[in-house]
């Protein structure tokens, strides 16, 4: 039978591709819910040490997020791998803190009007509050 | 002559591969998990450094493992798809939680790591790469130094546990495949070839080793390393996989095509075009219903073993149904446009 005569197999839809805004691993998927214990213990049976640690973690996280808010619009110095140090105006971070949106990024090749910095490349950022 | 209904359907239907996009560079390795209560899963290694986890029967993206700073050359999942491991050009192998996507462990090496493989119980990880040394890590004691097995004289391309995780099979650029005893760390047997081995697959059920080199797909006993049979393909082959029931095997390589052979008769049954670049890896799913191929073109494609069967995203449609109202919900791929 000539292959051009054959009907192609029908498909319900195409495979879903990656979400550009996140690294995936949906915490609401049945597998995640079944296999991952909740991060915050609901009872104090595990001891106040865990509760204390959770409180500290929450405080640190809140402090980090507030720092990001404070950085908005400011001129920030980014220390990156391979001894790279650049200055730019900080715009925003994405939800997973994978990329930082900056403006007027000063590079050895000139000033980049708009740019995205990969967080995994950034070691530290500093700015005047 | 009695023909199965599925054969009649296959004869009348043209294979529609499902393309999984998302990678931006060549896909060099892929692996399936076992069958879990949530189905089975597929991990792909890519030169873009971002290995991806997908639902095995649909190709739907689940997540991307972020952390490597170089091309990822090897990727694997444990049977339960709860852990993943990757081997990369950044001189590390990493272990990941395959449910959350979090990086669990980074194992520093002295050179590019090419291959990673879990034991059945997921407690040990075998690595191999360009420093020519096989390493066994105890994942329960990650700070401990790994056990090392030296012997290969060139970069290791693939290393696998075999024979109940008591032995190790490794293929290297030195054109040998060696069988090692895990405890004595001695080479029990060595196979030498004229060309570099391009891929290796171990089938625990039946203890079969599938090897590709040049244009040849060869099947060996994993115990004795005796040759069972060999087949030559029309083009240079980079990877092959044997169906779980051992009735077919598939192979792909330089000419961008996927070949399907009858394992018993060694006859070529079908060949499929679709990829836009050489095929680097091909594997059957654990239930044998589909096989996945990874290519230089940056895509993974899923292919049906029984063309036309309802499975995953493929739907068996009888000719009358195609013209009915129900067909609106179905996607009929356009005819192939020949360049």
Mark which residues 68-107 of A lie under 8 Å from B by CB. Answer: 98
Q: B56 in contact with A at a CB cutoff of 8 Å? A: no
Q: Given an 8 Å threshold on Cβ–Cβ distance, is B315 in contact with A10? A: yes
B280, B266 in Cβ contact below 8 A?
no
Reported as a pLDDT band with limits 50, 70 and 90, residue B2 is low
pLDDT(A42) > 60? no
Q: B22 in contact with A at a CB cutoff of 8 Å? A: yes
- Helix, strand, or coil (residue B109): coil
Please state the pTM of the whole predicted model.
0.78
Percent of chain B with pLDDT over 90: 87
Of the candidates A23, A94, A35, A33, the one whose C-alpha atom is nearest the C-alpha of residue B103 is A23
- Using a 10 angstrom Cβ sphere, with 0-12 exposed, 13-18 middle and 19 or more buried, the burial of residue B4 is exposed
Q: How far is B184 from chain A (nearest CA, A)?
A: 37
Q: Which residue has the higher pLDDT, A104 or B321?
A: A104
Q: What is the ipTM of this complex?
A: 0.85
How far is C-alpha B180 from the geometric centre of its chain's CA atoms? 22
Mutation to test the A interface, candidates B6, B8, B14, most A Cβ within 10 Å: B14
Q: How far is A4 from chain B (nearest CA, A)?
A: 8
Each residue of B272-330: pLDDT tens digit?
Answer: 999 999 999 999 999 999 999 999 999 999 999 999 999 999 998 766 555 554 444 55
- Residue A66, in any domain of the structure: no
Structure tokens at A92: 């925003």
Number of independent structural domains in chain A:
1
Q: B330 in contact with A at a CB cutoff of 8 Å? A: yes
- Residue A67, in any domain of the structure: no
B61-91 per-residue burial string, b: 16 or more CB within 10 A, e: under 16: bbbbbbbbeebbbbbbbbbbbbbbbbbbbbb
Q: Is B307 left (phi over 0), alpha (psi -120 to 50) or beta?
A: beta
Cβ-nearest to B99 among A6, A18, A35: A35
Cβ-nearest to A25 among B101, B308, B322: B101
Domain of A115 in residue numbering reads as 72-127
**Closest-approach residue (CA) in chain A for B37:** A31
Alpha carbons B174 and A107: distance in angstroms, whole number: 45
SS (H, E, C) B166-215: CEEEEEECCCEEEEEECCCCCEEEEEECCCCEEEEEEECCCCEEEEEECC
- Residue A93, in any domain of the structure: yes
Structure tokens at B11: 């004869």
- What are the φ and ψ backbone dihedral angles of A108, each rounded to 5 degrees? -60, -20
CATH number for the domain including A100? 2.30.30.100
pLDDT(B93) > 90? yes
Question: What are the chain B neighbours of A30 within 8 Å (beta carbons)?
Answer: 38
- Residue B339, in any domain of the structure: no
**What pLDDT score does B338 carry?**
40
Mark which residues 187-216 of B lie under 8 Å from A by CB. Answer: none
- Residue B265, in any domain of the structure: yes
Each residue of B36-55: pLDDT tens digit?
Answer: 999 999 999 999 999 999 99
Q: Which residue has the higher pLDDT, B98 or A46?
A: B98
Angle at A104 between CA A99 and CA A106, to 5 degrees: 90
Mark which residues 265-304 of B lie under 8 Å from A by CB. Answer: 302, 304
Of the candidates A14, A3, A11, A16, the one whose C-alpha atom is nearest the C-alpha of residue B316 is A11
- Residue B237, in any domain of the structure: yes
Alpha carbons B195 and B298: distance in angstroms, whole number: 26
Number of independent structural domains in chain B:
1
- Residue B328, in any domain of the structure: no
- Residue B285, in any domain of the structure: yes
Domain of B138 in residue numbering reads as 18-323
Q: A8 in contact with B at a CB cutoff of 8 Å? A: yes
Q: A120 in contact with B at a CB cutoff of 8 Å? A: yes
- Residue B4, in any domain of the structure: no
Q: Which helix (H) or strand (E) holds B42?
A: strand B41-46
- Residue A96, in any domain of the structure: yes
Q: How far is A129 from chain B (nearest CA, A)?
A: 31
- Residue A55, in any domain of the structure: no
- Kindly list the distances between the CA atom of residue A101 and the CA atoms of A76, A91, A114, B127, in Å, as whole numbers in the listed order: 12, 5, 8, 38
**What pLDDT score does A69 carry?**
93
């Amino acid at each position: 039978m000539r292959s051009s005569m054959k009907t192609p197999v029908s498909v319900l839809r195409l495979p879903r591709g990656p979400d550009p805004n996140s690294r995936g691993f949906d915490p609401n998927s049945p597998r995640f819910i079944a296999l991952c214990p909740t991060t915050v213990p609901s009872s104090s049976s595990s001891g106040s040490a865990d509760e204390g640690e959770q409180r500290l973690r929450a405080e640190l996280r809140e402090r980090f997020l507030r720092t990001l808010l404070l950085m908005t619009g400011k001129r920030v110095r980014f220390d990156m791998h391979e001894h790279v140090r650049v200055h730019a105006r900080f715009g925003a971070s994405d939800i997973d803190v994978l990329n930082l949106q900056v403006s007027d990024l000063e590079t050895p090749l000139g000033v980049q009007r708009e740019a995205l910095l990969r967080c995994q490349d950034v070691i530290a950022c500093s700015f005047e509050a | 002559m009695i023909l199965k209904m599925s054969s009649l359907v296959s004869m009348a239907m043209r294979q529609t591969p499902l393309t999984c996009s998302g990678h931006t560079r060549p896909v060099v390795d892929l692996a399936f998990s076992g069958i879990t209560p949530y189905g089975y899963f597929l991990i792909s290694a890519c030169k873009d450094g971002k290995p991806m986890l997908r639902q095995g029967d649909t190709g739907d993206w689940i997540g991307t493992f972020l952390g490597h700073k170089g091309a990822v050359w090897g990727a694997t999942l444990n049977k339960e798809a709860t852990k993943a491991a990757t081997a990369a050009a950044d001189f590390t192998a990493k272990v990941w939680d395959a449910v959350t996507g979090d990086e669990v462990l980074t194992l520093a090496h002295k050179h590019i790591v090419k291959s990673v493989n879990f034991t059945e119980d997921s407690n040990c990880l075998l690595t191999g790469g360009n420093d020519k040394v096989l390493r066994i890590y105890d994942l329960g004691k990650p700070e401990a130094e790994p056990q090392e097995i030296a012997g290969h004289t060139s970069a290791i391309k693939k290393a696998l546990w075999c024979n109940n995780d008591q032995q190790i099979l490794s293929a290297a650029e030195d054109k040998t495949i060696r069988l090692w005893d895990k405890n004595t760390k001695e080479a029990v047997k060595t196979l030498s070839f004229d060309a570099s081995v391009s891929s290796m697959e171990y089938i625990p059920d039946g203890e079969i080793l599938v090897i590709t080199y040049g244009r040849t797909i060869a099947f060996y006993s994993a115990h004795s390393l005796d040759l069972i049979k060999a087949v030559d393909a029309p083009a240079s082959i980079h990877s092959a996989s044997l169906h779980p029931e051992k009735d077919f095997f598939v192979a792909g390589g330089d000419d961008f095509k996927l070949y399907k052979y009858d394992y018993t008769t060694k006859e070529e049954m079908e060949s499929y075009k679709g990829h836009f670049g050489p095929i680097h890896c091909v594997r059957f799913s654990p239930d044998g219903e589909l096989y996945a191929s990874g290519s230089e073109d940056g895509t993974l494609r899923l292919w049906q073993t029984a063309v036309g069967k309802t499975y995953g995203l493929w739907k068996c449609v009888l000719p009358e149904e195609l013209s009915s109202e129900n067909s609106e919900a179905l996607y009929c791929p356009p005819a192939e446009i020949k360049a």
